[in-house]
Structure 1
Amino acid sequence: MNDTTPAAYLHAHQFAALAPGPRLIVTGAVHGNETCGTQAIRRTLDDIQNGRLEIERGLLTLLPVTNPYAYAKKARQGDRNLNRNLRPGNSAGDYEDRVADVLCPWLAAHDVLLDLHSFHTGGQPFAMLGPRNNAGQLEPFSHEGEEERLVAHLGARCVVEGWMQAYQRGVERRRRLRPDAPVELLDAAYGVGTAEYMRSRGGYGVTLECGQHDDPQAPEVAYHAIRQTLALLGMARIPLQPPAAQFTVYHLEDVVDMDHSGDTLLRPWASFDPVAKGEPIGRRHDGTLVCAERDGYVVFPNPHALPGNEWFYFAVRSSRTLDV
């Protein structure tokens, strides 16, 4: 077996307290080159196994490496992006589809998800927040308050909402401009990842972007978030640190794809860099400028995106506040 041979299994660690309580699952390396969560989860495992941490209520499942193939490759994905179009039932598909057949039932068996990620370029940690309570078609939800309180205690002062709405707009554009794109890129459920799937099964989940991939502080951010989550849920005797005094909440308005390998960003953008209406953000391979349609912010810029995949996101300030 060589280092990039896809693993034939997922390895989770589970701790079931004798007293009832919440069911929490913590995931790392959904993207294989995002290892801060893996490091933090393994540190938490060491704490438990060496008696420094005891799970006293509920069920804790720790999954250090959610995508073993991508992790072995030290790449974002194995065959495809696991955190898009996540659903079970396609075991004859690619590697990530087979992972989904195992992962999705695990998510559905829990109440709360903490999914630990990192990002390509510079910027401060931020949390991804789900929708307000609603009974709509796109992402019905009923745990707004619980999810906001979790986000507020994770340590990040920046919060991003509007993920599924941005992807809905992105998919509509693809259908209009690139009807010959791979079918999965045209699927209305393309934006469904771990947290979105968790919400669709009646739970709630937070994706925490802990910092740039190689930032030595990112594993510390992830480790702090795990402990804060355990404290907030009352699963372990850990002092709960208070939330930040204030947060900045951004609403994702759009996702812009890289169309060609020759597309380039015009500067080394970092998440939450401000842009003015009409300001160029990138240049297509044919010289066409991609400009901001209104005043806002660049989020998740990825100069190394694959053609047909997300190049950057555009956000505006949200009026939403957190229930802490």
Structure 2
Amino acid sequence: MNEHPRLTSLAHGGGCGCKLAPSVLRELLAGQPVAQAFPQLLVGTETADDAAVWQVDAQTCVIATTDFFMPMVDDPRDFGRIAATNAISDIYAMGGRPIMALAILGMPIDKLAPEQIRQILEGGREICAEAGIPVAGGHSIDAPEPIYGLAVIGLCHPSELRRNADARPGDALILTKGLGIGIYSAAIKKGALDAEGLAEMVASATRLNRIGTDLAKRDDVHAITDVTGFGILGHGLEVARGAGLRLRLRLNDLPLLSRAAELAEAGFATGASTRNWAAYGAEVTLPEGLPIWKRALLTDPQTSGGLLIACAAPAAGQLLDELRAAGFPLATIIGSAEAGPPGIVVE
């Protein structure tokens, strides 16, 4: 008999659903000093990008990020793998190449066995090895809830830096992974997701977004961000605000995990989904009469989600074929960017 507690039972939230609501985060950051007083800081807090970027010289930028959260699955190794994949994604979303990571670990050592904690760390190291980087150190504390993640350092050439603020009018929008991770995690909490569904979720959340490094070498790819805790609407809005554009998304074209719609209609959703809508719903126009469960698909927090790519429209078809061939079978053109007040229109 397994005497170890379920990881998800020790946390009040899980995955990127633990993130502060977008409105709360914006309020907290509103009074911070302007980081752009440092001319070598190419990307700081001003554009809600995925990582900070410091230009070292004419050939090299350093990309730095950190990401950690509480468990959304009960298997310790899978928790470590998902958290590491999610953290490394920020480097890929900026167009960079990761070079090393530091572990961030907070564990209730009176509730978890050492072997469980070791499995979490091993899962993280496994993904880092897949990305070709070492876990070069880290920091740990005794914490009331299990927390794991990474600080990750990467590099890129200044010309290959991709910010979410650089989308252009007329760009096509591509999403590389299916939505529904938060809905699946809510079903896990209530014992309503079967083994097949769990395997699908873990496979998606542990698929590295390394394609971002290659995308950034293309002149026809203008902006990249990864879709995580704020959902497709929240991260789409970060692109819209940063670039000063309006995004149009086609609801029926959004890629979904196989049971996402079914579970959403049955009422499975995270608290973060509701907080997300409350934070940014005023900037979104939805189809009249859209059911609440369909809205939940749009606000669903993604843990280690896909890349949202803004590219020149003529290149979108070929790029889509390349993404699918590279291991992203659900990659889909989901809409476009256009001139207009920053916001999102869902059609």
Tell me if both proteins adopt one fold, taking TM over 0.5 as the criterion: no
More helix by share: 2
TM-score (normalised: structure 1): 0.23
TM-score, structure 2 normalization: 0.22
